[in-house]
């Protein structure tokens, strides 16, 4: 186990946030943090990445290895090139030149690495965001809405990248509102709605226990929009 959350609570002034959230992340698994807009996914990720502190409950880390993180959006300096940005971030993480080249190739930006970010499309900037998160040796990779701005080809490539990370023994937590994408890829799932966990655990077991073929259908039934 990498981290265990018990009764975690974080409420903002607008009364949005999360309450009584309990789950654990197991090593070497792909975990989908799924739910609609406002479900509490981003709040939970901010707590796990230590950008904010929880108000109640416990977050117990059993593995203190560093976290690699892909935010849902990054305002990269548009006057810099992808190569300059990756070189700078790689220096902070003590990565080799080969590692820098490898991640740029992995996200399809190596051939345009000397172009300024100002010329990049939204999808290209998202892939640069993915590239920076792949740098380093952290055993836990957290990806916040990684499919945003990606076309179908790069969503497929993203799946392959996550599977490759798992094959190295790493743990991947990704948030998404695309429940079909979560079902295709994840070993485990944490489904949230209105700041609470609806259900969590092994994906196949959850679907089998509820005699349901589709995660989306189960989610709709749980929030009261059954068929």
Q: How confident is the model at residue 169 (pLDDT cuts 50, 70, 90)?
A: very high
What's the pLDDT score for residue 225? 60
What's the pLDDT score for residue 64? 64
Strands 171-176 and 140-144 turn out to be parallel
What's the pLDDT score for residue 224? 76
> pLDDT digits over 90-135, tens only?
999 999 999 999 999 999 999 999 999 999 999 999 999 999 999 9
What's the pLDDT score for residue 152? 95
- Please provide the average confidence, as pLDDT, over all residues in the chain: 93
Cα 185 off chain centre by:
12
Burial of 8 (0-12, 13-18, 19+ CB in 10 A): buried
Cα 35 off chain centre by:
13
Query: Quick check: 227 pLDDT over 50?
Result: no
Q: DSSP alpha helices (H): ranges in the chain? A: 41-48, 82-93, 97-106, 122-134, 152-167, 179-185, 203-209, 215-222
> pLDDT digits over 171-217, tens only?
999 999 999 999 999 999 999 999 999 999 999 999 999 999 999 99
What's the pLDDT score for residue 222? 87
What's the pLDDT score for residue 66? 81
Cα–Cα dist 179/221, whole Å: 13
Pick one of 3.40.50.80, 2.40.40.20, 3.40.220.10, 3.40.50.300 as the CATH number of 3-66+138-222: 3.40.50.300
> pLDDT digits over 120-132, tens only?
999 999 999 999 9
Cα–Cα distances (Å) from 144 to 96, 175, 223, in that order, read: 26, 5, 23
What's the pLDDT score for residue 18? 93
> pLDDT digits over 39-53, tens only?
999 999 999 999 999
What's the pLDDT score for residue 223? 85
Query: Quick check: 137 pLDDT over 90?
Result: no
Query: Quick check: 226 pLDDT over 50?
Result: no
Query: Quick check: 69 pLDDT over 90?
Result: yes
What's the pLDDT score for residue 38? 86
The domain ranges of the chain are: 3-66+138-222, 77-137
Q: How confident is the model at residue 29 (pLDDT cuts 50, 70, 90)?
A: very high
The percent of residues in the chain predicted with pLDDT above 70, rounded, is: 98
């Amino acid at each position: 186990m990498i981290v265990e959350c018990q009764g975690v609570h974080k409420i903002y002034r607008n009364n949005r946030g999360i309450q009584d959230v309990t789950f654990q992340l197991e090593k070497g698994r792909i975990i989908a943090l799924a739910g609609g807009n406002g479900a509490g996914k981003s709040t939970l990720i901010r707590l796990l990445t230590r950008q904010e502190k929880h108000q109640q409950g416990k977050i117990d880390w059993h593995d203190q290895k560093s976290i690699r993180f892909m935010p849902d959006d990054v305002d990269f300096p548009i006057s810099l090139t992808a190569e300059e940005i990756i070189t700078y971030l790689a220096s902070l993480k003590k990565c080799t030149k080969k590692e820098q080249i490898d991640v740029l190739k992995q996200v399809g930006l190596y051939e345009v690495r000397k172009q300024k970010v100002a010329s990049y499309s939204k999808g290209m900037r998202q892939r640069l965001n993915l590239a920076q998160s792949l740098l380093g040796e952290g055993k836990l990779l957290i990806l916040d809405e990684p499919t945003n701005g990606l076309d179908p080809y790069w969503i497929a490539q993203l799946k392959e990248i996550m599977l490759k990370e798992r094959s190295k023994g790493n743990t991947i937590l990704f948030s998404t509102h695309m429940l079909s994408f979560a079902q295709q890829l994840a070993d485990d799932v944490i489904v949230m709605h209105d700041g609470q966990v609806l259900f969590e655990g092994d994906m196949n077991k959850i679907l089998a226990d509820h005699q349901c073929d589709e995660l989306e259908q189960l989610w709709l039934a749980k929030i009261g929009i059954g068929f």
